[in-house]
């Protein structure tokens, strides 16, 4: 691969194989932190993997060296066909307009992080965003949605509200559900399909690493249903 081409942070989906990562993207576990009621309330940064300029991440869910690929996809004849919509986020999104902030939602991108649920859920909170405390909770909960399914918008400026992430990849763990979750692309990493298609660049995206999503390459929450575990 040409190093000039590979220097910007890019994740390329290989046909029925792993994610090929270039551009010195930091890789670290990111754990869903819950409160006493079991609600998702914060992200906890955990083990950081040694820096590598390039690496390959398992997409079939069966590597013995997770989160990295060990070639098992070939032995199990993994079908990694990309089936997700390639339309830009806003063309797929439903809009809910509140008094001070608004919410856009693409349900098919849900990665089951559950940050949307506390305080009566963001779909309810958006209608009360004229109250400062509610507005803050709404913005925080929406921004913590790892997949970018949910985006909060400031009505006054028309701009999205986002955490400022550096380009990086999180390896999500969900101890409250006793499972491992998707790969969390943060900070505008270019995702390229196996056919060379360039997906829309976004601040938050979650990629399936259990192999079971029906909306590949994106996570659809199946990892929780099948009890996917990365015990590495």
**Rounded to the nearest whole angstrom, what is the least distance from the CB of residue 210 to ligand FES in the complex?**
3
Contact 117/39 with Cβ under 8 angstroms?
yes
**Rounded to the nearest whole angstrom, what is the least distance from the CB of residue 89 to ligand FES in the complex?**
18
User: Per rule CB under 6 A, is residue 209 in the interface with ligand FES?
Assistant: yes
Q: What is the DSSP string of 164-210?
A: -PPSEEEEEEEGGGTEEEEEEEESS-EEE-TTS-BPPP-SEEEE--S
Q: Of the two residues 160 and 212, which places its CB atom closer to ligand FES in the complex?
A: 212
**CA-CA distance, 3 to 9, in Å (whole number)?**
12
Range in contact with ligand FES (rule: CB under 6 A) among 38-46, 138-146, 163-171, 215-223 = 215-223
User: Per rule CB under 6 A, is residue 191 in the interface with ligand FES?
Assistant: no
Contact 32/213 with Cβ under 8 angstroms?
no
Site mask for ligand FES (CB under 6 A), range 5-34, x = bound: ------------------------------
Of the candidate residues 31, 109, 151, 210, the single one contacting ligand FES (CB under 6 A): 210
Q: How many chain residues bind ligand FES (CB under 6 A)?
A: 13
What's 14's DSSP letter? P
- Terminal-residue alpha carbon distance, the chain: 29
DSSP 3-state assignment of 139? helix
CB-CB neighbours of 206 under 10 Å = 30
Q: Of the two residues 105 and 220, which places its CB atom closer to ligand FES in the complex?
A: 220
Site mask for ligand FES (CB under 6 A), range 103-132, x = bound: --------x---------------------
Q: Which residues bind ligand FES (CB under 6 A)?
A: 111, 181-182, 208-210, 212-213, 219-223
């Amino acid at each position: 691969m040409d190093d000039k081409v590979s220097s910007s942070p890019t994740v390329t989906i290989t046909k029925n194989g792993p994610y090929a990562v270039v551009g010195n993207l930091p890789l670290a576990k990111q754990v869903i932190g819950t409160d006493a009621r079991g609600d998702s309330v914060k992200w906890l940064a955990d083990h950081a993997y040694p820096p590598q300029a390039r690496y390959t991440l398992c997409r079939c869910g069966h590597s013995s060296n997770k989160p990295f690929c060990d070639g098992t996809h070939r032995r199990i004849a993994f079908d990694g066909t990309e089936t997700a919509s390639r339309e830009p986020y806003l063309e797929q999104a439903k809009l809910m307009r509140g008094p001070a902030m608004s919410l856009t939602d693409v349900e098919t991108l849900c990665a089951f992080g559950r940050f949307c649920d506390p305080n009566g859920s963001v779909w309810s909170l958006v209608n009360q965003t004229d109250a400062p405390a509610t507005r803050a909770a709404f913005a925080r909960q929406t921004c913590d949605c790892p997949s970018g399914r949910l985006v909060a918008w400031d009505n006054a400026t028309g701009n999205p509200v986002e955490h400022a992430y550096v380009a990086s990849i999180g390896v999500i763990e969900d101890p409250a559900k006793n499972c491992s979750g998707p790969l969390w692309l943060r900070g505008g990493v270019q995702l390229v399909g196996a056919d060379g298609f360039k997906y829309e660049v976004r601040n938050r995206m979650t990629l399936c690493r259990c192999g079971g999503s029906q909306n590949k390459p994106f996570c659809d929450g199946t990892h929780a249903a099948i009890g996917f575990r990365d015990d590495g």
